[in-house]
Chain A
């Protein structure tokens, strides 16, 4: 066993905040890093130390491997936690971290490499006896080879980026005449996002449910699963709502998914926390999709139903301690469900929204957890992911957890950029969600009927707004220094609007 003293947190937002708090509980000092845009961010101010690592663009800061390692060494850190996204699954970076003498809070570079290229992961899983979706993979395939293979697999099928993740470089192809186009655009997106143009093909599982299993492995060869999460509520392959237990799985399938996940993890000697993703059809037949060799955004769902702290476990495992439990000690308690609050505008095609969070006040309620990297006054910029917070509810039954989550979403005070809150509430209210019938293509197919109409203005809202206007005319907030400048209608980006108005009489 080794003892860890100070951790560099190579991330931002809610996950950096989450890791800082875990460090504090473990008696490990936390060193945050920040870009220009995050100089006043919550994680920057909450950590024991904070170090500037570059300009706002991710490439100059949170993806700046050299600056991160130099900062970690200079600050006297002995370990580095990558969070999720950014460099968390970059095996070359992990190797650099290890070579510089730091402990990496995560799996080994060889594990990440084995799973990072989706085509290699598929082959490895096939040999480990884990079921994979029928498909085609070849690193040397030309466009024509891919098209020929696509015709053989049949439609619908998916074109996927071999080096991908996060929903990028994925196309669903429904007919032969659009396959060439899909391959071209997926390749461009894959090259831009991952620097890797390789693609592979998979049969598209219609109305598939996204089931993933959380696994943890220690350095002593123990690997267990922490049950499944269902993340079928997705829009354009981005998860929106995640829960555990899955409403789809029977006890037998749940057991089989857990066994397959452990087999998958064992095939790559998995150490630390990871996730094995499967797609399941309505009959409960499931296939390996990919393995995420990092902490997941939705890890709190698992934490709430198991009572475990996954970040704490990651630190324990990195310190070479054995897992403090065996598979038979673990149970799913009750039901947990998470939704992701995004700064985006559902009414205009979910375009990202930016701006200042004027007020953020999470509610204090039993069974509710809110993981947020923002607070009142935080700025949502175009540089980073538009997630504002994760709201997670835990209760004894699924219906109770849904009711609790809706209540928390309504009571959370969040004023500022447009968000998807009303859309989330509409989803949670939907009878198909209550019945567990949502599959991964459901949202995109039913979007128009799921978008809530703008509500009528209640008299109480009109009265409150009129009182506020009377108290603070011309948009200038009372009792608030920052409100005054933000409210000034002439302070921001108005040039285009004036021009536009001037053109109207033509």
Chain B
């Protein structure tokens, strides 16, 4: 069975097939591995390769994908669906989104205000940290969607922008 995963923006493919003796055959590129794979109830895979090599992989489902930890290193992967990973900061299509979850401590702009690149529009605070959300370009603050004191999620839209005609 062929599995495709997206890691760090790239597609990775592996062909995995069970063998009659309970082991697996895994083909990645031109490389073929034969291994035993055991999963415990908490999601830790113990991989035993036929050359004796052992690997512990801690795996959990998260959001739209999975997370794996091997040797202290974290790998976040997603299925190759059109669902995008979260974390877009500015949509580029004329809006500003919250880069972190938190509370809006100040809104420094009003609907229709002319704004210039770098100008602070909204101040967010979370966990002892202040984040200034600034205008990515000159333009107009078409619509302000949050108010001071409001709690916002990561990715929530703060301000709609439009180009200055």
Residues of A within 8 A of B (CB): 166-168, 189, 192, 348, 351-354, 358-359, 361, 376, 382-386, 409-416, 419, 421-422, 425, 454-455, 457-472, 474-480, 483, 486-487, 489, 492-493, 496-497, 499-501, 503-504, 506
Within 8 A of A (CB), among B59-112: 59-75, 77, 79, 82-84, 86-89, 91, 93, 97, 99-103, 105
In the docked arrangement, what's the CA distance between A409 and B28, Å?
29
Q: Rank and list the top 7 A-B pairs by shortest CB-CB distance, nearest first.
A: A410-B72, A464-B57, A487-B61, A358-B60, A466-B3, A489-B64, A382-B126
Chain B neighbourhood of A462, CB < 8 A: 5, 7, 12, 14, 28
20 contacts between A and B (CB under 8 A): A351-B129, A352-B102, A354-B154, A359-B43, A382-B102, A383-B127, A385-B127, A415-B69, A416-B62, A421-B74, A457-B8, A463-B28, A465-B5, A465-B68, A465-B77, A466-B26, A468-B43, A476-B61, A497-B84, A497-B86
Residues of B within 8 A of A (CB): 1, 3, 5, 7-8, 12, 14, 16, 24, 26, 28, 31, 33, 35, 37, 39, 41-45, 47, 55, 57-75, 77, 79, 82-84, 86-89, 91, 93, 97, 99-103, 105, 126-131, 151, 153-157
Knowing A463-B37, A466-B26, A470-B1 touch, does A386 contact B14 (C-beta < 8 A)?
no
**B106: shortest Cβ distance to chain A, in Å?**
10
Chain A neighbourhood of B3, CB < 8 A: 466, 469-470
The majority secondary structure among interface residues of chain B is strand
**A464: shortest Cβ distance to chain B, in Å?**
3
Asked if B7 and A422 make an inter-chain contact with CB atoms under 8 angstroms apart, the answer reads no
Chain B neighbourhood of A463, CB < 8 A: 14, 16, 24, 26, 28, 33, 35, 37, 47
Asked if A486 and B73 make an inter-chain contact with CB atoms under 8 angstroms apart, the answer reads no
In the docked arrangement, what's the CA distance between A353 and B39, Å?
28
| B1, B43, B101: the one within 8 Å of A354 (CB) | B101
Knowing A475-B61, A489-B83, A504-B93 touch, does A467 contact B37 (C-beta < 8 A)?
yes
In the docked arrangement, what's the CA distance between A504 and B91, Å?
9
Chain B neighbourhood of A504, CB < 8 A: 93
| A166, A425, A477: the one within 8 Å of B60 (CB) | A477
**B72: shortest Cβ distance to chain A, in Å?**
3
Chain A neighbourhood of B100, CB < 8 A: 351-353, 382
**B19: shortest Cβ distance to chain A, in Å?**
13
Q: Which residue of A lies closest to B16 (CB)?
A: A466
Knowing A463-B47, A475-B79, A477-B61 touch, does A497 contact B39 (C-beta < 8 A)?
no
Chain A neighbourhood of B74, CB < 8 A: 415, 419, 421-422
Asked if B157 and A496 make an inter-chain contact with CB atoms under 8 angstroms apart, the answer reads yes
| A385, A419, A467, A501: the one within 8 Å of B128 (CB) | A385
Knowing A415-B67, A465-B5, A468-B59 touch, does A457 contact B101 (C-beta < 8 A)?
no
Instruction: Tell me which of A358, A410, A461 has the highest count of chain B C-beta atoms within 10 A of its own C-beta.
Output: A461
**A186: shortest Cβ distance to chain B, in Å?**
12
In the docked arrangement, what's the CA distance between A471 and B77, Å?
16
**A480: shortest Cβ distance to chain B, in Å?**
7
Q: Which residue of B lies closest to A410 (CB)?
A: B72
Chain B neighbourhood of A499, CB < 8 A: 157
Asked if A468 and B73 make an inter-chain contact with CB atoms under 8 angstroms apart, the answer reads no
Asked if A415 and B62 make an inter-chain contact with CB atoms under 8 angstroms apart, the answer reads yes
In the docked arrangement, what's the CA distance between A383 and B102, Å?
8
Chain A neighbourhood of B44, CB < 8 A: 413
In the docked arrangement, what's the CA distance between A493 and B87, Å?
12
Asked if B101 and A496 make an inter-chain contact with CB atoms under 8 angstroms apart, the answer reads no
Instruction: Tell me which of A353, A382, A503 has the highest count of chain B C-beta atoms within 10 A of its own C-beta.
Output: A382
Asked if A352 and B72 make an inter-chain contact with CB atoms under 8 angstroms apart, the answer reads no
